[in-house]
Chains A and B, each alone.
Chain A
Amino acid sequence: MRQESAILGFPRSLVGDPMISRLLRAFPVEVNILHARIDQKEEGRLFAVFSGEDQVVGDALDYLRTSGVQVIIPESDFIWDPDLCVHCGACAGLCPSGAFSIDPESFEVRFDLGKCIACDLCIDGCYYGAIETIEEYIARAGGE
């Protein structure tokens, strides 16, 4: 089994196409869509967790790439910047999915990407600018 959180970027030409439906018909893979948005430039962003057999998840992501979808596998610095974080834990008090938590011993903030549902509640809750949106992450980290 492989589980992969990925950000998909749909160029304007693909926004009208039912890409995820096609993907699901072609591959036995589970897709849990956590966040989807079409911006003012009519480009689409989708944040999802893909799970299935190792080979199948890889093939499914390759299928999207060859169809012209940008596939970004987030690095460990996704959304949360530990260098800017002061570990107050305000994010953990707001996070509905448990992606942000406070370690009960060290009182440090921990982030578990696998639990993030990209609801963005933490972003306004962080006074220190240590949390960014998917769009800001992409702008900073760029594509693959």
Chain B
Amino acid sequence: MAKTLQQINEKIGRGEAVVVTAEEMTEVVREQGASAAAEKVDVVTTGTFGPMCSSGALLNIGHTSPRINLSRAWLNGVPAYCGIAAVDLYLGATARREGNGASRTTDYGGGHVIEDLLRGREIALRAEGHGTDCYPLRHHEAVLTLAELRNATLMNPRNCYQNYNVAVNASSDSPVRTYMGTLLPEMENAAYCSAGQLSPLLNDPAYRTIGIGTRIFLGGGRGYVSFPGTQHSPEVSRSDKGVPVEGAGTLAVTGDLKTMSADFVRGVSIPGYGVSMALGLGIPIPVLDEQVAESTGVSDEDIVAPVVDYSRSYPDLSGEVLGTVSYARLRSGTIELEGREVRTVPLSSYQRAREVAEILKAWIERGDFLLSAPVEPLPGVSAG
């Protein structure tokens, strides 16, 4: 029997909704079947935690006296984009501190500034102004904290990739240093980055319930899906069950940074590559019918990822894939590639992904978080 979103929200309001994590749902569907699972379960919570480079914060520093129209600005030495209104600036997660040496301990960037803001730390602002009749100030220095910022909004153009590459180095000579970590020659290790069966879009492969306007767990606070993410690619190859076998859908998300926590928003430093930000993100899925139950019952055995050579195919964009491997194998610690055992290096934290799904579950069980219907669907498989 199909349920409506409104019926599910009414059950949440009465404290009667049955909420399980995507990991628990996999067991429920495996043991009882999709039909019984659809009867029993009202909401499935998903979660993911990993580096998501296309992230950043829109900050409004408040007007100065005299006024300034920012032309250039640095937060703890990290440049922010000022080509918007007078005291608005956008701090990108991968912006690097200027004059930064290559040393590991000094790698610091936009993601670290955002984490430091969340930890309540003081941030040094240095700014230059255009100097106009209405905004005369040309130089400004201040110490800022998150509480003092007039607005701080996390605005991420692309997060939550639906599946991702497994990175190896098939060259015979030297290690390659990538955003997927250091990859050893002759495919001695393989790096992967997805929460697999817990990952939001892998539990809603055709974007039936997740769309523009969906309320989500974002960085420990609340946020929204604001648009399809950049590079959203619904038309990629899919398995018999409709699960993409490579990177596919993505989400643009937005939320109030002041509601978030450094437990789920972390600056990251990647040797030989640069800086970025890791983020925890979770989305509840209303179990409207048997089809949704079936999709949320997906397991790591059913989800496969393409193995890509980051010494050649990736930089050249050749599109060559060395093979496919399941997340169940990846998570076991070793995979088999060309007849050899290869160690796997996880970059996405399954433990944190599970924590995100558990927190979201607790919020819904307490009646603190209601589900929302999309205002518009994401571009889907047939829509292109």
Residues of chain B within 8 A of A127, CB atoms compared: 51, 181, 268-270, 276, 278, 347
Q: Kindly state whether residue A74 has any CB partner on chain B within 8 Å.
A: no
A88 touches B346 (CB 8 A): yes
Q: Kindly state whether residue A61 has any CB partner on chain B within 8 Å.
A: no
Contact of A86 with B51 at beta-carbon distance under 8 Å, contacts A93-B189, A127-B278, A128-B278 already known:
no
Bound form: Cα–Cα A78–B231 in Å: 42
Contact of A90 with B347 at beta-carbon distance under 8 Å, contacts A124-B182, A127-B268 already known:
yes
Residues of chain B within 8 A of A89, CB atoms compared: 345-346, 349-350
Residues of chain B within 8 A of A109, CB atoms compared: 351
Minimum CB–CB distance from B196 to chain A (whole Å) comes to 12
Minimum CB–CB distance from B307 to chain A (whole Å) comes to 15
Cβ-neighbour of A125 out of B49, B181, B266 (below 8 A) = B181
Residues of chain A within 8 A of B51, CB atoms compared: 127
Q: Kindly state whether residue B96 has any CB partner on chain A within 8 Å.
A: no
Residues of chain A within 8 A of B345, CB atoms compared: 89-90, 93-94, 125
Residues of chain A within 8 A of B270, CB atoms compared: 127
Bound form: Cα–Cα A126–B3 in Å: 45
Residues of chain A within 8 A of B136, CB atoms compared: none
Cβ-neighbour of A88 out of B189, B269, B271, B347 (below 8 A) = B347
Interface size class of chain A, counting residues whose CB lies under 8 Å from the partner chain = 20 to 34
Q: Kindly state whether residue B67 has any CB partner on chain A within 8 Å.
A: no
Mask, A72-95, CB within 8 Å of B = 1, is 000000000000001111101110
Bound form: Cα–Cα A86–B351 in Å: 8
Query: Lowest 4 CB-CB distances: which A-B pairs, in order?
Result: A93-B345, A127-B268, A87-B351, A88-B349
Q: Chain B interface (Cβ within 8 Å of chain A)?
A: 49-51, 104-105, 181-182, 189, 191, 266, 268-271, 276, 278, 333, 343-352, 354
A-B contact pairs, 15 of them (CB 8 A): A87-B349, A87-B350, A88-B346, A90-B346, A90-B347, A93-B333, A93-B344, A93-B346, A94-B343, A106-B351, A108-B351, A125-B182, A127-B269, A127-B278, A128-B278
Beyond A93-B345, A107-B350, A127-B270, 4 extra complex contacts between A and B, CB < 8 Å: A89-B349, A90-B191, A94-B345, A127-B268
